[in-house]
Amino acid sequence: MGGKDRIEKLLKAAGSEKRTTAATTGITKEFLIVSVGEALLGLHIEYLREVFDLPDRGDVIPLPFVPPYLVGVINVRGEIVPVLALSDILGLGETPAGSLKMVIIDQKFKAAFPVREIIDLKAIDVKELRSVKDPTRKTEDHMLTQEFSYEGKTVGVIDVLKLYSSRFLA
């Protein structure tokens, strides 16, 4: 199964079948758009592995002696996957306590993070991506380095490579 087909199947399983394609003429990148707190975030599908509803929030097993952004681990078909509070890492405020939707990404290792809602899977023309600089954050902690517009709102693109090389996950 191809990458796009796989992601669409995952979205369907997560109860979100929405998929929009921009009228483009150039090179596009596909992003999963999710909401974390009040923010919209875009995740390049290259790093996306799974999207699912967690049956029970008690399935997240908290760990002692870890920093607050590592909220625990989950058992995904026999594999222990860390659960990160992306909102803490990105400085977006608190993760909603009721969130049961999980997104798993994979770069150096698998990591899961709770999101409030799966919004869309959207192809974006690279020309629509804008660079973002945040003078309020240290350069190494600034992981939303690009953004694009979606239905009148701004979506911050998670720089996954920077996330994995950051002090939070390194």
Partner 1 sequence: MDERSGMLDIFTITGEGLRVGVDSAEIERVASDVSSLGGDRSPDRAYRLEELLPGGRANGGAAGARVSALVLKSEDGRNGLVTFDGVMDVMSIPIPRIMPVPDFVRRAQKPLFVWGFYAAAGGLIALVTFHYLVMEGAA
Binding site for partner 1 (CB under 8 A): 61-67, 70, 72-73, 75, 78-82, 109-111, 169
Of residues 76 and 129, the one with the C-beta less far from partner 1: 76
- Residue 167 DSSP class: T
Q: From the centroid of its chain, how far is CA 87?
A: 10
Of residues 13 and 80, the one with the C-beta less far from partner 1: 80
Return the percent helix, strand and coil in the chain, to nearest 5: 20, 40, 40
Of residues 19 and 110, the one with the C-beta less far from partner 1: 110
Of residues 148 and 168, the one with the C-beta less far from partner 1: 168
For the bound state, the minimum distance from the C-beta of residue 83 to partner 1, rounded and expressed in Å, comes to 10
For the bound state, the minimum distance from the C-beta of residue 73 to partner 1, rounded and expressed in Å, comes to 6
For the bound state, the minimum distance from the C-beta of residue 167 to partner 1, rounded and expressed in Å, comes to 11
- Residue 25 DSSP class: S
Is 37:50 a contact under the CB 8 Å cutoff? no
C-alpha torsion 97→9→49→86, nearest 10 = -20
For the bound state, the minimum distance from the C-beta of residue 61 to partner 1, rounded and expressed in Å, comes to 7
